[in-house]
Chains A and B, each alone.
Chain A
């Protein structure tokens, strides 16, 4: 498989972006972390095609994507309830597919959820800007000139590894692997998901009624939600006072509440600082579920302790270690 090979985009879909594991280290200059909204999904897809975990892939929002490749590549994806086809063969989430030149990769609209992360062996090799290939639409940097893909785009791919060649060899007859990653990692759209949270530093600024509402009521995702944040309609989360706060750092997962008392759940492209009180933070392992929310979806919240949030993260990391060992065994 040669160097200088490319993806040729026939239909770009609603919003398709080059994303990697994010732009770390530039928050003090006001630069968002960005990256895949579900970094874990991209990581799994990358491992499946023998890439570095943080390699750049595509984040496809609401599907409608069609492309073909210059040479034989491995592809894998994780995310919402999408139908993905390699030519006439179906590629389920978390499986590895081999795609030959001229064959079309087609990602249809999702039945559930809203985003998918596609990894291609060799990774996408657009230039790094501030140490990352992630597309930041607000700053117009990264990816392809800082914008979403368009029909006719040609995206450069890296050289893929010997491991990918071996896996491609294993798939010669079958096209799609029999093995796959665990379903709870690869299919992350849930109907009325429950997002677990830890308390935020402004918890005490809220009227006690807000605690009960956050814990027990249903919130609905509104139209003006995007990669910066999910705006939620539902019960009002009132504060005890309306003193102005000094802006403080915020992070993906932060739930901030503007004066209208309607919470906003921040996602990867969120600003680096914010002046609204932070009632809570969705825990890292549940950002995968948050990244699948689309307008009209309902969502609930449940409090966990900080040690519990960490325990869930460590459990996922241990399972990932086992998964890696399993992947190494497949070629044997």
Chain B
């Protein structure tokens, strides 16, 4: 498996070449490697994080040398340790969990500020878009962009809509958007370019908890449409 440097304090393990061709198998494999390498506690490695097709291992070069790395070949040493660990270990694929986490979403026009753009782009009615969006099953491919922001694969291809040409300066926390062939939820108020079609009252990022994210890479997600009234009740 190819390993390349990410600057002078990290390496990237390239698990697969592509993602969209086989999202589930790729995720199972990448998350399997990520968990395995995190639990391996390799000397000098301080953090392991997956992203779609790759796994990053962040290391402290000083600690790597203290653990025996040749100071002139630290990257090669770290890469060799990772390769050896993979060769000698048994990587368990991260199978998708059987049950889905249900996220209530209010698609009311009060929140769905870009629903018109989506309907005109995809050529469906608002009702059809909502029905298809809430009828599909999704999987969290990756967390990123912002803390706890889930990139969800599994969007019905008919709903794919390009990102807005100019990102909005402020998108409220809980906003649900479509960006290309992915959907996602903004956990905190932030700028963003996805087309907003609803909002959830559920908190996706709670820094006081560990893990701080409600949804983690590999999780299965379904959306349940709720009314504005239900939204207000759930939001408390």
Query: Given A246-B19, A251-B9, A317-B62, does the pair A28, B49 have CB atoms closer than 8 Å?
Result: yes
Indicate whether A311 reaches chain B with its CB closer than 8 angstroms: yes
* Apart from A249-B6, A310-B74, 12 more pairs, CB < 8 Å: A24-B58, A26-B212, A29-B216, A30-B149, A31-B147, A32-B147, A198-B5, A246-B18, A247-B52, A249-B54, A281-B7, A307-B73
Query: Given A139-B188, A271-B144, does the pair A248, B51 have CB atoms closer than 8 Å?
Result: yes
Please indicate which of the listed interface residues B51, B62, B145 has the most CB atoms of chain A within 10 Å of its own CB. Answer: B51
Question: Within 8 Å CB of A278, what residues of B?
Answer: 6
Indicate whether B118 reaches chain A with its CB closer than 8 angstroms: no
Residues of A within 8 A of B (CB): 24-32, 129-130, 136, 138-141, 198, 200-201, 246-251, 253-254, 271-273, 278, 281-284, 306-307, 309-311, 313-314, 317
Residues B152-190 near A (CB distance < 8 A):
188, 190
Question: Within 8 Å CB of B93, what residues of A?
Answer: none
**In the complex, the 5 A-B pairs of residues with the closest C-beta atoms, listed nearest first:** A281-B7, A249-B56, A273-B144, A309-B8, A27-B49
**B146 contact from A28, A30, A200, Cβ within 8 A:** A30
Q: Please give the distance in Å from B77's CB to the nearest CB on chain A.
A: 10
Question: Within 8 Å CB of B213, what residues of A?
Answer: 29-30
A sample of 19 inter-chain contacts (CB < 8 A) reads A28-B48, A29-B205, A30-B144, A138-B188, A139-B207, A198-B5, A251-B7, A253-B8, A272-B49, A281-B6, A281-B7, A282-B7, A284-B9, A306-B75, A309-B8, A310-B61, A310-B71, A311-B71, A314-B71
Task: Name the interface size band of chain B.
Answer: 35 or more
Cα–Cα distance between A278 and B47 once the two chains are bound (Å): 20
Indicate whether B210 reaches chain A with its CB closer than 8 angstroms: yes
Question: Within 8 Å CB of A32, what residues of B?
Answer: 147
Cα–Cα distance between A294 and B48 once the two chains are bound (Å): 32
A140 contacts B145, C-beta separation under 8 Å: no
Cα–Cα distance between A190 and B6 once the two chains are bound (Å): 26
**A24 contact from B47, B54, B73, Cβ within 8 A:** B47
B71 contacts A29, C-beta separation under 8 Å: no
Question: Within 8 Å CB of A129, what residues of B?
Answer: 207-208
Residues of B within 8 A of A (CB): 4-10, 12, 18-19, 34, 46-54, 56, 58, 61-62, 65, 71-75, 142-149, 151, 188, 190, 205, 207-208, 210-213, 216-217
**A314 contact from B6, B56, B62, B205, Cβ within 8 A:** B62
Cα–Cα distance between A240 and B176 once the two chains are bound (Å): 35
Q: Please give the distance in Å from B166's CB to the nearest CB on chain A.
A: 14
Query: Given A24-B46, A246-B19, A309-B8, does the pair A138, B190 have CB atoms closer than 8 Å?
Result: yes
B207 contacts A130, C-beta separation under 8 Å: yes
Please indicate which of the listed interface residues A30, A253, A272 has the most CB atoms of chain B within 10 Å of its own CB. Answer: A30
Q: Please give the distance in Å from A294's CB to the nearest CB on chain B.
A: 22
B74 contacts A251, C-beta separation under 8 Å: no
**A306 contact from B5, B50, B217, Cβ within 8 A:** B5
Query: Given A249-B56, A251-B6, does the pair A138, B146 have CB atoms closer than 8 Å?
Result: yes
